[in-house]
Structure 1
Amino acid sequence: MTSIQIAGGENDFQLVRHLTVRGDQFEIGKALAREARTRSGWAPRPGDQTVNRARMAWFERFWPQHHERLDGVAAAFDLDPDRDDLVLDGLNALPAGSGCSALWCPPSAATDGHGRIARNYDFFTLTTSEIMMGQAAVPGELPMASRPYVITTVPDEGLASTVITMNELDGCMDGVNEAGLAVVLLIADVRNAAPPESFDLRVGLSSVQLPRFVLDTCENVEQAKRALLMAKHYDHGMPLHYLIADASGQAFVWESERIIDAGDAPQCVTNHPLHRHPDPMLLPADDESTMDTFGRLRTLHERSKEAPLSAEGLAGALREVAAGADKEWRTTWTSVLDTHDRTLTARFYLGDTPEGGTRFTGEVRFATRPDS
């Protein structure tokens, strides 16, 4: 495994690392566990034995890549992988104690024939204590979004991928695999979002595991639809929806077990249920509880009509709806996932300027197979 600091620093809001991990899934899991232990002191935690046995059986049958990585996590801590009293996943790399916008441009609507998802990952600049518990940050506690990772995994067998994650090394928020399948997650109903009452794990896929599951097991949209319809999945009281697209130009939004097909047109997603508001021209007005979700989608919808869109035009549309220093949250990164080139390009938030603006890194580009 290689670990490189690629953006920001201790005096910036974000410090971003890029991990490249090669080998079989066992070795990948062991390497990620060691990184989580080194960066945050993470360790397996006690869990309900009945639930753990069922979770591991589900992973072994439906997500064997993850199951093999969990064996590697156990090895990193010199544990018996068959122990059922410990939870081996949830590799949080944030030292202990989102509204978003996305636009899919299919190949037919791009100036160069490349399908792309562009997205803003919007999140509060607060700590876990402040967001989840309504308490003051403890001494030394970092903001939740301050230490993101870009992770490239190149398994001996299976699909290579590059992802961005805010904190959990075995999940992700954005990603693309070597088959050209791309996925991003967004809060599905920001008006009714609330901090989860419990983070108890259940059988199936958690919210941030779902994108990684799709990238590990699927090569195209049709496979992703079938896999998600067959999978068990759960959230922690804050439902998400997911924009998924492939190299052929197909795309859909997965929302509360509903499939919303994009057809051959651009698809805009922000933070309200699309199945309740299918027509962008008939969206209601925003209020204090909606974090501009309707206005952001209207803007993206209008920009999508300007097709064909270049890569820069797509990024420009996302800049129009980015959260600035006048908001309670920030666009903590902007990414572009190119399904043709199988690449992920991102720029990261570093902090605010004295003039009331925001500072970002330049664009950094990552391939799913760095040697290809």
Structure 2
Amino acid sequence: MAQQIVAGGGAADFPTVRLVSAEGDQQAIGRTLAEAARETYGWRPIPADRRKARARRRWFERNWPQHHERMRGAAAALGLDFTADEFYVDSLFPLPAGSACSATYLPPGLTEEGRGLLGRNYDFFTTSQSELFALMTGAQPPATAEVPMASRPTLVHSRPTDGPATLVLTMDTLDGCMDGINEHGLAVVLLIADAENASPPVDEGPQVGVSSVQLPRFLLDTCRNAEEARAALLDAKQYDMGTPLHYLVADAGGDSFVWERVSGNEHITDGDGALCVTNHLLHRHPDATNLPADNAETLLTYQRYQQLAKSTDATMSADSLRAALAEIGFDADSPTDYPVRTLWRTVFDLGARTMSTRFYLDDLRQSAELSYSV
């Protein structure tokens, strides 16, 4: 396993950002990711409901064979019998409710580079989960210090012999991701879908199908373009962990859409030119000129959407996209009662198959921009 710290990591830095490089067949990559998860997050497999674990394993074998083989590799790394179904050998961490993110896709015809660009702000809390709970409920803050939820992001660069190469960025789980791109030029980012009505995470354990945090990785492993991703999502069994998410999916050819699921109903909003998304359900409010007013709980989702839509009216470069995202990012001066910051800003060049990311270090500093090719 090749693992290195690529940003942060100092005593004064909020995050420690690691890069994990994995290659070989999917089993070998699964072993690498299990070892990295154990080292970085203290991950341990949890005892399983055998009937459910068996059903999950068989579903993955039929529908997501890459993940199935990585699970097999993780079991081997832990010295477990994969087919005994005694443990869940993949990690599923729900996203706490209420984070804020912004993303937009520009097809090749709307960029100075002549290549599709996807940019996103990953806006999240700078607290531990217990501290956030105390803040939101008025409870007494915990006496013992906990690591902030988003302080250990990981870049994972996988080059399998039996599937497409992928480059993904994750907050806290190595079998899913928040941002990612594959060698075909397909990119996916996830965002909280309904900030105003987000429910707390539900700890019901792994279910059969694809979890909300695994979904981007599922698409990157199994799809070459946005149309294949639409078909895969309509066909796949999915579940969330209490916090609804939505996803911007885009490809190098200029096709894009936003995927949303509400109460079991599925919605696809196709891109027509630039496609923007923040933290309200896009299928309910597709018109940037006719949006509700923000309140204390929406974390400026409507304002950010309007501003981003206006910024992307004209042809843009990657640098002007970065500037537009910076204008709607969260910093110490943002008008919100919650400790939210833009923890990273990513720009994907889908034609070049690259991902460039700048990380928040503290309220006065950001990292140098890190650029990688898938």
TM over 0.5: yes
Q: Give 1:291's aligned amino acid.
A: L
Residues 33 and 91, structure 1, Cα contact 8 Å, conserved in 2: no
1:323 aligns with 2:334: no
Provide, for residues 280-334 of structure 1, a one-character-per-residue CA deviation record: whole Å limited to 9, x for no partner. 11011111111000000000011011x2100001011000000011342000000
**What aligned pairs does 1:26-45 form with structure 2 within 5 A after superposition?**
26-45=27-46
Q: Give 1:4's aligned amino acid.
A: Q
Which residue does 2:294 correspond to in 1? 286
Residues 42 and 91, structure 1, Cα contact 8 Å, conserved in 2: no
Alpha-carbon distance in 1 for matches of 2:294, 2:43: 40
Which residue does 1:338 correspond to in 2? 349
Q: Once the 2 structures are TM-superposed, how far is the Cα of residue 194 of structure 1 from its aligned partner?
A: 2.5
Determine helix, strand or coil for the equivalent of 2:241: coil
Which residue does 1:139 correspond to in 2? 144
Determine helix, strand or coil for the equivalent of 2:211: coil
Residue in structure 2 matching 1:309, options 311, 316, 321: 316
Which residue does 1:356 correspond to in 2? none
**What aligned pairs does 1:227-306 form with structure 2 within 5 A after superposition?**
227-256=232-261, 257-263=266-272, 265-305=273-313
Residues 20 and 36, structure 2, Cα contact 8 Å, conserved in 1: no
Question: After alignment, is 73-82 or 137-146 more displaced?
Answer: 137-146
Aligned length: 356
Change (3 A) 1:145 1:274: same
Determine helix, strand or coil for the equivalent of 1:280: coil
Alpha-carbon distance in 2 for matches of 1:261, 1:172: 22
Residues 163 and 176, structure 1, Cα contact 8 Å, conserved in 2: yes
Q: Once the 2 structures are TM-superposed, how far is the Cα of residue 141 of structure 1 from its aligned partner?
A: 1.7
Residues 131 and 195, structure 1, Cα contact 8 Å, conserved in 2: no
Residues 330 and 342, structure 2, Cα contact 8 Å, conserved in 1: yes
1:54 aligns with 2:55: yes
Q: Once the 2 structures are TM-superposed, how far is the Cα of residue 99 of structure 1 from its aligned partner?
A: 1.0
Residues 92 and 206, structure 2, Cα contact 8 Å, conserved in 1: no
Provide, for residues 24-72 of structure 1, a one-character-per-residue CA deviation record: whole Å limited to 9, x for no partner. 0000000111111122332111121111111111000000000000000
TM-score with structure 1 length normalisation?
Answer: 0.93
Alpha-carbon distance in 1 for matches of 2:279, 2:301: 5
Alpha-carbon distance in 2 for matches of 1:156, 1:137: 46
Alpha-carbon distance in 2 for matches of 1:139, 1:40: 18
Alpha-carbon distance in 2 for matches of 1:311, 1:112: 8
Provide, for residues 127-179 of structure 1, a one-character-per-residue CA deviation record: whole Å limited to 9, x for no partner. 12234686634634210110000110000121001010001011000000000
Alpha-carbon distance in 2 for matches of 1:37, 1:310: 40
Percent identity between the two aligned chains: 51
Residues 286 and 293, structure 1, Cα contact 8 Å, conserved in 2: yes
Change (3 A) 1:9 1:173: same
Residues 153 and 169, structure 2, Cα contact 8 Å, conserved in 1: yes
Which residue does 2:113 correspond to in 1? 112
Alpha-carbon distance in 2 for matches of 1:2, 1:198: 32
Which residue does 2:124 correspond to in 1? 123
| Structure 2 unmatched runs, 5+ | 94-98
**What aligned pairs does 1:131-210 form with structure 2 within 5 A after superposition?**
131=132, 136-137=141-142, 139-210=144-215
